[in-house]
Amino acid sequence: MTVLPGSRRYLYVPAMILMLTVSNLFPNKSLAQKSEKLSENERGLSISKQALLDKIKGGWAGQTIGVTFGWPTEFVYMGTFIQDYQKIKWHDDYVSEAMRVFPGLFDDIYMDLTFVNTFERLGLNAPADSFANDYAHRGYELWHANQAGRYNVLQGMRAPESGHWLNNPHADDIDFQIEADFAGLMSPAMPNAASDICDRIGHIMNYGDGWYGGVFVANMYAQAFKNDDVKVVVTEALKAIPPQSKFYQCIADVVKWHRKYPDDWKKTWFEIQVKWAEEVGCPDGVFHPLDIDAKLNAAYVVLGLLYGNGDFTKTMELSTRAGQDSDCNPSTAGGVLGTMIGYSKIPDYWLNPIKKAENNHFSFTDLSLNKVYELSFKHALQNIKANGGLVDGEQVSIPKQAVQAVRFEESFAGHYPKSKVPVNQVSGEKIVLHVDGIGFVIRGHVRRKGPRIPDTVIRAALYVDDVKVEEANFPTLATQRRTELFWRYNLTKGRHKVEVRVIDPHPDYEIVVTESLEYGVKPQ
């Protein structure tokens, strides 16, 4: 995606309890003795190091292939699929070309790599704050929930508040969904371990359905290490999501429609549009064809996986042709399928361009694919042992983990988009407007009045019905910007006076308010 926030544990038995239980069974025993004691059921998965590495490489290669393949289509097809007669570009040097021409395309990858580097630097128990600070201070440009979370972290807010919908209007956006691959790749056949990592990191920038997107993706990766049927991978991963959530219901619908229309992906695509394509949270997407909602785009991923049925080329084509975030979606689908079949079984047509680019560093990192293959494999072995598994010579034994659903969260509950009202006011001191409803988002930005004026931070206050409710910093530097000016939810129903007042005005800077998004108590 290159355009455009209680308890943080499980409702059920966490993976750590399993780890302690297994370790307590075999105190002071050698790995070989432990391996002999483990029953087949307790092992869950026995795999060679070579096969494990092949799957990890397949996951990273697959997602790199997918994001490159979708490069020219991203957010070009919003609310429509790409027609069959339109050829999507691919050639033998395409990955290297993309890295050279448009390095920002690979935000799917370099966001993952930021967290991989944090694990490498601080170990498996690295705290959420370390991941938050590492990504917040990177030089890359971010959008939507990632940028909103980054801004919150830079202002001193910690997870999970930094991703919570009351603090982040993009909480349900796709962001963590496209960067959770690493969590599954370092948790082979260990779905609860993958969910635990997602709980720690995903709430930095997302909440509710936005968080569930990452949990679901990481669980698909974990399942892909031990299942060779994409239908099983999808349905087992979905068990990690609470059934009362809209995310669960959306993906369950895709599975149902695939059974109903097994030979017609377009019928399923239309069913998805009819039921699930209405944006509620993201201020960019409400009342607009753009839909960067996590569950809708996850539905496209699942569509590609189910109708692709293990065929790499077909999976790439369908997950891209579904539209919207059509580089991130094939990246996710390709990563999951690449993990399932392994690097060595990705067709040469797709793999040869990857091989030519495996020593190239991704932008804003010191990591290439060849380096991340090694790091991810290392972290997977560490995580397997931390969760009670055994690494004995060239053989790896992973205890069985029955999927446990994470806790229920919901963003924007009871809030329904009511209207978008053009404002189009500019001032260096104060802007006054009126909104009608139970919530609002004031869209706009702070800007310099000339190109030679230095970047700075403007401070402004929000007043609702003549009561000051917030002061906030507004950096003019793009990488530190606040995604929206101000927002408020859970207001009393009715008409409200809203004022944005600049503190210590300066003649070289001004606030631009473009429009207000208003929320009501029921669907229009």
Matching residue, tokens 């297994």: 22
Which of 366, 398, 430 is at the close of a domain? 398
Question: How many domains in the chain?
Answer: 2
Question: What pLDDT does 38 receive?
Answer: 44
Which of 344, 368, 398 is at the close of a domain? 398
Residue 458 lies in a domain: yes
Kindly state the average pLDDT of the residues 321-347: 98
User: Between vectors from CA 142 to CA 138 and to CA 145, what angle results, nearest 5°?
Assistant: 115
Name the residue range of residue 434's domain.
Answer: 416-520
- What is the CATH classification number for the domain harbouring 502? 2.60.120.260
Together in a domain, 385 and 421: no
Question: Could you read off the pLDDT of 231-273 as tens digits, one per residue?
Answer: 999 999 999 999 999 999 999 999 999 999 999 999 999 999 9
Partners of residue 435 on adjacent β-strands? 496
Question: Could you read off the pLDDT of 371-397 as tens digits, one per residue?
Answer: 999 999 999 999 999 999 999 999 999
Kindly state the average pLDDT of the residues 29-56: 68
Residue 9 lies in a domain: no
Question: What pLDDT does 36 receive?
Answer: 45
In the chain, % of residues over pLDDT 70: 92
Together in a domain, 169 and 276: yes
Together in a domain, 421 and 394: no
Together in a domain, 348 and 497: no
Together in a domain, 436 and 371: no
> Strand order in 486-488's β-sheet?
416-427, 509-520, 439-448, 486-488
- What is the CATH classification number for the domain harbouring 101? 1.10.4080.10
**Average model confidence (pLDDT) for the chain?**
92
Kindly state the average pLDDT of the residues 113-122: 98
> Strand order in 457-464's β-sheet?
430-436, 495-503, 457-464, 467-475
Residue 405 lies in a domain: no
Together in a domain, 57 and 144: yes
Together in a domain, 183 and 93: yes
Question: What pLDDT does 522 receive?
Answer: 84
Distance, in Å, from the CA atom of 172 to the CA atom of 185, rounded to the nearest integer, reads 23
Residue 229 lies in a domain: yes
Together in a domain, 394 and 474: no
Question: Could you read off the pLDDT of 462-516 as tens digits, one per residue?
Answer: 999 999 999 999 999 999 999 999 999 999 999 999 999 999 999 999 999 999 9
Kindly state the average pLDDT of the residues 40-63: 89
Question: Could you read off the pLDDT of 279-313 as tens digits, one per residue?
Answer: 999 999 999 999 999 999 999 999 999 999 999 99
Instruction: Determine the longest span between alpha carbons in the chain, in angstroms.
Output: 76
Distance, in Å, from the CA atom of 63 to the CA atom of 430, rounded to the nearest integer, reads 47
- Please enumerate in sequence order all residues whose Cβ is within 8 A of that of 200, keeping only pairs 6 or more positions apart, or say none: 8, 127, 128, 131, 159
Alpha helices in 186-225 (DSSP H): 191-202, 209-224
pTM of the model: 0.92
Residue 494 lies in a domain: yes
In the chain, % of residues over pLDDT 90: 90
Question: What pLDDT does 1 receive?
Answer: 57
Together in a domain, 167 and 278: yes
Together in a domain, 356 and 459: no
Question: What pLDDT does 523 receive?
Answer: 81
> Are 14 and 368 spatial neighbours (Cβ–Cβ below 8 Å)?
no
Together in a domain, 169 and 234: yes
